């Protein structure tokens, strides 16, 4: 099995966005420690709109200079030591600013598709360039902020023009819809890799793009009750390392606690409890690729232990890999 551990590298986007040190730098340094000890590499989807905003506001607010330096140095270090740096777009940064104390984050336009086609083209070019400038390596894989990349027809031409050929945003059966935020992967192919052209959930063998979906898992309500109870009982082990709070997703929490839900396989917090189970399910289905999502901000001391255990137990029999190792020669 090719195993991709992928991390969306970002702060929180609600009113309480947290600090760069606790949401990004420290938890990522723990991942670096695991990677170097076990000689495996991870893929980081870097929220490059945030780097652009830091760059814009650091001249006026020198306190941001530290955040800018810490992030750009860590991203460069990751890239130089063989981790993958790829594109993660949260276009709401276009409408957000720093007031001297905190980020005023406006998520009215949360999805790329909320922008005009000209704006989308401009955003993709500028955001991708941030990462090319830091890493000096090809950037060709995309993960949509909040999984929102539909309708893909609005992104297709810009992605082709910018040589973005691989996407890893889909997780089969995932579905959510609110005012700002929506994705619908209910009809995604039951595959671990496929080609597509106009629509991310419709396979097209002649398609220009490759989808490497995030591996799906079905969770019972009991799983999330356990997660919340453990968080109360032992916050030291189970509290996220990031010091912010996720933006509101109306109805989402209630759904998790009352129904079976379709989720991506994840290293975040207590989700990491299921890594080995999820691998077993994929092996039974004779899949070749396992894509795991995570966020440095949402890792806990528990999940860091679980990631290390998972790597340790599987590194001999399986191939921990990155998008560049798998697809980079075609770019």
The residues of the shown chain that bind Zn ion, judged by CB under 5 A, are: 8, 10, 145
Q: Which has the closest alpha carbon to 27: 324, 309, 294?
A: 294
To the nearest whole angstrom, how small is the minimum distance from the Cβ of residue 296 to Zn ion?
11
The number of beta carbons lying within 10 Å of the beta carbon of residue 265 is: 23
Decide whether 47 or 308 has the Cβ nearer to Zn ion. Answer: 47
Q: Is the dihedral of CA 198, 201, 207, 213 positive or negative?
A: positive
Phi, psi (degrees; rounded to nearest 5) at 57: -95, -10
To the nearest whole angstrom, how small is the minimum distance from the Cβ of residue 212 to Zn ion?
17
Decide whether 147 or 209 has the Cβ nearer to Zn ion. Answer: 147
Decide whether 182 or 319 has the Cβ nearer to Zn ion. Answer: 182
Interatomic CA distance for residues 81 and 66, integer angstroms: 22
Decide whether 142 or 152 has the Cβ nearer to Zn ion. Answer: 142
To the nearest whole angstrom, how small is the minimum distance from the Cβ of residue 186 to Zn ion?
21
To the nearest whole angstrom, how small is the minimum distance from the Cβ of residue 275 to Zn ion?
21
DSSP string, 52-110: HHHHHHTTT-THHHHHHHHHHHHHHHHHHTT-EEEEEE-GGGGG-EE-SSSEE---SS-
To the nearest whole angstrom, how small is the minimum distance from the Cβ of residue 291 to Zn ion?
15
Decide whether 3 or 11 has the Cβ nearer to Zn ion. Answer: 11
Decide whether 7 or 282 has the Cβ nearer to Zn ion. Answer: 7
CA 54 to centroid of chain Cα atoms: 20
Q: Enumerate residues 6+ apart whose C-beta is below 8 A from 319.
A: 1, 2, 3
To the nearest whole angstrom, how small is the minimum distance from the Cβ of residue 142 to Zn ion?
12
Closest chain position to Zn ion (CB): 8
To the nearest whole angstrom, how small is the minimum distance from the Cβ of residue 143 to Zn ion?
7
Decide whether 8 or 167 has the Cβ nearer to Zn ion. Answer: 8
To the nearest whole angstrom, how small is the minimum distance from the Cβ of residue 240 to Zn ion?
15
The number of beta carbons lying within 10 Å of the beta carbon of residue 74 is: 21
Give the C-alpha distances (Å, rounded to integers) separating 50 from 61, 64, 97, 181: 15, 11, 10, 19
Q: Enumerate residues 6+ apart whose C-beta is below 8 A from 111.
A: 91, 144, 145, 146, 148, 149, 180, 181, 182
Decide whether 27 or 145 has the Cβ nearer to Zn ion. Answer: 145
Phi, psi (degrees; rounded to nearest 5) at 68: -60, -45
- SS3 of 274, please? helix
């Amino acid at each position: 099995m090719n195993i991709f551990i992928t991390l969306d590298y970002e702060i929180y986007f609600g009113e309480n966005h947290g600090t760069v040190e606790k949401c990004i730098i420290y938890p990522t340094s723990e991942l670096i420690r695991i990677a170097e000890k076990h000689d495996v590499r991870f893929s980081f989807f870097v929220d490059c709109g945030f780097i652009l905003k830091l760059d814009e506001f650091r001249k006026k607010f020198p306190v941001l200079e530290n955040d800018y330096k810490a992030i750009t140095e860590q991203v460069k270090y990751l890239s130089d030591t063989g981790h993958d740096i790829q594109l993660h777009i949260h276009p709401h940064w276009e409408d957000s600013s720093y007031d001297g104390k905190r980020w005023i984050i406006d998520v009215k336009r949360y999805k790329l598709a909320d922008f005009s086609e000209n704006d989308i083209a401009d955003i993709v070019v500028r955001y991708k360039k941030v990462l090319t400038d830091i890493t000096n390596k090809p950037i060709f894989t995309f993960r949509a902020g909040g999984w929102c990349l539909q309708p893909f027809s609005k992104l297709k031409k810009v992605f082709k023009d910018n040589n973005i050929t691989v996407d890893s945003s889909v997780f089969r059966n995932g579905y959510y819809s609110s005012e700002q935020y929506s994705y619908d992967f209910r009809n995604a192919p039951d595959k671990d890799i496929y080609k597509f052209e106009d629509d991310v959930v419709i396979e097209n063998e002649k398609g220009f793009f490759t989808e490497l979906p995030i591996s799906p898992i079905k969770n019972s309500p009991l799983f999330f009750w356990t997660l919340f109870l453990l968080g109360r009982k032992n916050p030291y082990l189970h509290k996220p390392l990031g010091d912010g709070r996720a933006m509101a997703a109306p109805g989402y929490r209630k759904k998790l606690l009352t129904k079976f839900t379709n989720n991506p396989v994840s290293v975040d917090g207590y989700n990491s409890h299921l890594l080995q189970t999820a691998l077993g399910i994929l092996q039974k289905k004779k899949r070749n690729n396992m894509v795991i999502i995570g966020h440095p901000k949402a890792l806990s001391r528990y999940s860091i232990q679980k990631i290390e255990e998972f790597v340790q137990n599987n590194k001999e029999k399986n191939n921990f890999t990155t998008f560049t190792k798998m697809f980079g020669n075609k770019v």
